Chain A
Amino acid sequence: MEEGLRKGPVKLLVKDLRTGTIQAKDLEVMIGRLAMEEEWEPQGPTPFPGMHSLRSWDLKLLNRYKPFYAPFCDMCCLCTYGKCDLTAGRRGACGIDIRAQQGRIVLLACCIGAATHTAHARHLLEYLLRKYGEDHPIDLGREVECLMPHTMLVCGIKPKTIGDLSYILNYCEEQVAHCLAATHTGQEGNALDFESKALHVSMVDHVAMEVADVEQIVTLGFPKGDPNAPLTEIGTGCVDVTKPLVLCIGHNVAPGIEIVDYMRKNNLGLPGEVMEVAGLCCTAHDLTRYSEQAKIIGPMSHELRFIRSGIADCIVVDEQCIRTDAVEEAWLTKTPVIAANERACYGLPDLTEEPVEVIVNKLVNREIKGAVIFDPEKVGAVATLTALRMQPLRKKYKTIPDLNQIKDAASKCTFCGKCRRNCPWNLPTDEAVNAAAHGNIEPLARLYDYCVGCGRCEEACPQHIPIHSLITAAADRKFKTEKYKVRVGRGPVLDTEIRDVGAPIVLGEIPGVVAYVGCANWPSPLQDVGRMAYEFARRGYIVTATGCSAMAIAYYKDEEGRSPYEVFPGGFERGGLLNVGSCVSNPHISDACIKIAHIYARRKLRGNYEEIADYVLNRVGACGIAWGAMSQKAASIATGFNRLGVPVIIGPQGLKYRRLYLGRIEDKESFSVWDARTGQKVFIGPAPEHLVYIAETVEECMVWTAKLCIRPNDTTKGRMIKLTHYVELYKRFYGRLPKDLPMLVRTEADIPITYKDEVLEFLKAEGWEPHPQPSIDPTLLERLVRVKV
């Protein structure tokens, strides 16, 4: 069979068949799709791995980084035997204990995350196949020959066209189903095996996300790894409120694309000319990747306040991270809602088959709150026409009070404190509302940047005070004018960039690759994400970002009032700051780690997951930070990074995910690796100490970011550079030298020059001795040892 995957099912046509029992003419037999692949590289040991295929690798990881469980609920409520009390060693009716139950819930969360991205990729692929055909090539430009590293690594095949991607998604769907099945009552019962399956389905999640992003990049003309992707605007103040506005919320860009296209085709110009098109959450990133004139309203935390502002004239919701009360909230501001995805219909009538004009009339006349329209092209027409007609009708509708109405609303407050108790972050909403009742709105306004926009304060208020709206009203000026600069999501890291930085990353001379990813449940003002990103880019780390975190970075301003995206270059280079794109762009970050192993170190990629993950864990100083992680998708994204050997730090709310992967450095055996050159076992110190860690404060997070980029493979120069950053940050925030220096300093040459005397004195007092084998070829895989002892 010719190169690449064969498209579609194999067809056998038999003109005339005669056997002892059968006689047939023109018999056509279809036997599914066969994977026929050119031999671009010898096939590795685990192509298309099943749940068990990489279990031994998982157990190696979990031997060092043991699951740490913090049950969020002591009971199991999943079957009719229950509720079962699993407190402190009790078992449920099915025999499960609390430890296994935590692993089970973690697996469930990761399955939800992986299923969501896989379904997203499938839905988008079907749309793109209809528009572009299955032979549309996967071309990421001349500087990306290693096209889909995760797919190549996990599946062992190299897709050539978008039609091939369907086959990859078949695999993802199958694995998600298997892993989800393992959570059924009376299936898996061991915590470590639950974790292994969570790691597996999360690896699959990265494949699915890669498919989702690559298919939209290659068809829709998104930037293909462009370090100079344009800067665009973000913030609630970035839209011209005198123009009609369509607001797209969610993650699936198909309807947004059709809105922009409909405007172009119907002489309505680009977004921003006659009318505005803006996005909220990840679909906003992808809209600006398609049309840089589109606007980004902000992360998910800004959703409720923006809907209530009444600025949008039509809202289109697609999938994921949409407020499930969006229709009800929008109805109060007379904003019609179009639900464009079968996974989120919100009880709206399905008008997909109705003519455009009929649907628009129903929406404009407020006969219905909204409509389900499954045809993205029709969504484009309906949303545009509806916004144009609605704008003059509903100019003054909003549910956020005016400044002079705040005091009246707040005066109902009995100061019961229920709002504060219901706030995920214990924000002093009670004190702020009480102050407003007495005429001082400053405390309310101060909460604006801290509030994660969940609205739980209002749900708890017995006086039905619209507290979230009061916060927005008190910060009215900021809400209406805040506008920042963010770089459009650039997509993959180029092969040429990897060739330039592969060596300094692996040797430690670029101190690390830091990835700010995940959602908007931030424990501190959203500017803190930008503060951290700025600090690490300034220090010469390569800083990458996706999703709501990539947005939050834009809200930070330096002393000259510049966004970090205006200060740092957009390349995968020392001191670069990359907005990679939306949630489904996350694999470009893990792909960069894979490509370092493949392109720089020439490790085989095809179906060779374990060896590449071993390489990344021991050599690539990368660390993910999901400071505001909230969703199940964030759980699977992080766990997928973990299986590849990349540690992740989460904000303190992350302990509600119930599980961390923590090392105990005093267990020296678990922190020992093979030296592939000598065959000896060598203690490597805390490099890295944990695989999933929680930081309580931003300062702690920064210190641990520097620490978790340390790897056993660092050269002395590299270790010295990494320790310089670690020691500087530790001293700044903790006030003295870190106590684990004796384990991290292998020879005197590792000691940061600026702290030489101080560190030497400290080491001497601690009885430090130079490590016997400071330079090793580290691996957890005994089969890679070249010399047996």
Chain B
Amino acid sequence: MSSILPPRTSPYQTANIPGPQMALSPDKAPTVFATMVKRAKNPLLIVGKYVLEFDLEGKKLIEYAIEISKKKNIPIVATTTTLKGFIERNYPVVEMSLVDIVNRLQDPTFTVTPDKEPPHDLVLFLGITYQFASQGLSTLKHFAPHLRTITLCKWYHPNANWSFPNMDDKEWKKMLEEFIQAL
């Protein structure tokens, strides 16, 4: 990652400026986001291919996903082929592609957790290809008024409701750990 970071809350990918409504990225994002998760009635964590590829000082991103999930009993939707990583770790997840889960999340009667009342009211994104995640977040911004989105990646995602800022891996690791600690 570059030593000079882009402005922290400008869209990570240049020109990905969707419109007047862009994500909020508070100073103390880890604790703010943790509070939002604790208040949510039916949160959901969606993970993408980078959870198997990214490594933060020896710890795979998938391990962070599992820790987040365990801490607050948040179901994980494993998109693309990430299911394999969870099977290897013997951790239960729902397998569904990103477009399939986002498509269903537009429906306020849908939930992946039969024991909880729909809808999912808070959706966390982690480790999804930037532009793919950005478009999925756009769908939810426009067509799922019953939920809020938070991105936990190291990139500022304007289409989310709430996003971590642009940052390097070191800070990202720190933020993820603070977030998990605060849950």
A residues with CB within 8 A of B: 68-75, 85-89, 98-99, 414-418, 420-422, 424, 426, 430-431, 460, 523, 652-653, 655-656, 660, 662, 664, 693-697, 699-700, 703, 733-736, 739
Contact = CB atoms under 8 A, between A and B. Distances in A.
Nearest to A731: B84
Interface stretch (B4-12, B34-42, B118-126): B4-12
Task: Classify chain B's interface size.
Answer: 35 or more
A696 B98 contact: yes
B87 A88 contact: no
A70 B80 contact: no
Contacts of A70: 102, 135-136, 138-139
B138 A700 contact: no
A415 B3 contact: yes
A652 B132 contact: yes
B96 to A, nearest CB: 9
Given A72-B18, A73-B19, A694-B132, 14 more contacts: A68-B99, A72-B138, A74-B20, A74-B21, A85-B21, A98-B142, A416-B2, A416-B4, A417-B2, A421-B14, A422-B14, A652-B132, A655-B99, A703-B81
Nearest to B100: A662
A420 B155 CA distance: 12
A28 to B, nearest CB: 60
B129 A652 contact: yes
B132 A696 contact: yes
Chain A binding surface, main DSSP class: mixed
Given A70-B139, A696-B49, A733 B6 contact: no
Nearest to A97: B142
Contact of B20 (A87, A89, A739): A87
A415 B19 contact: no
B104 interface: yes
B95 A734 contact: yes
Contact of B142 (A87, A460, A523): A87
24 contacts: A69-B142, A72-B138, A74-B20, A85-B20, A87-B142, A88-B21, A88-B141, A88-B142, A417-B1, A418-B6, A418-B14, A523-B129, A652-B131, A653-B131, A696-B49, A696-B132, A697-B80, A700-B81, A703-B81, A734-B81, A734-B83, A734-B95, A735-B87, A735-B88
A421 B4 contact: no
A60 to B, nearest CB: 19
B97 interface: yes
Contact of A426 (B49, B104, B130): B130
Contacts of A662: 99-100, 103
A85 B83 CA distance: 38
Contacts of B104: 664
Interface string B9-31: 00011110011110000000000
A151 B95 CA distance: 43
A415 B135 contact: no
Interface in B151-172: none
A736 B139 contact: no
Contact of B135 (A74, A75, A655, A736): A655
Q: 4 nearest interchain CB pairs?
A: A74-B19, A417-B2, A655-B135, A735-B84
Given A420-B2, A422-B14, A735-B84, A655 B142 contact: no
Interface string B73-117: 000000111011001100000010111101110000000000000
Contact of B95 (A89, A695, A739): A739
Interface-centre pick from B15, B49, B132 (highest chain A CB count, 10 A) = B132
B103 A68 contact: yes
A92 B107 CA distance: 24
A653 B129 CA distance: 10
B80 A426 contact: no
B48 interface: yes
Interface-centre pick from B1, B2, B14, B83 (highest chain A CB count, 10 A) = B2
Nearest to A704: B97
A703 B84 CA distance: 14
B100 to A, nearest CB: 7
Contacts of A700: 80-81, 97
B131 A74 contact: no
Contacts of A652: 129, 131-132
Given A71-B18, A87-B21, A430 B84 contact: no
B48 A696 contact: yes
A70 B135 CA distance: 5
Contact of B131 (A88, A430, A431, A655): A655
Contacts of A703: 81
A734 B141 contact: no
A7 B130 CA distance: 56
Contacts of A694: 97-99, 132
A85 B131 CA distance: 22
Contacts of A69: 139, 142-143
A695 B97 contact: yes
Contacts of A656: 131, 135
A733 B81 contact: yes
A733 B3 CA distance: 36
A297 to B, nearest CB: 28
Nearest to A700: B80
A71 B142 contact: yes
B128 to A, nearest CB: 8
B141 A736 contact: no
A414 B4 contact: yes
Given A68-B139, A85-B20, A693 B84 contact: no
A335 to B, nearest CB: 30
A421 B130 CA distance: 10
A689 to B, nearest CB: 9
Interface-centre pick from A460, A693, A696, A733 (highest chain B CB count, 10 A) = A696
Contact of B145 (A68, A88, A426, A653): A88
Given A70-B138, A421-B12, A660 B84 contact: no
A653 B132 CA distance: 7
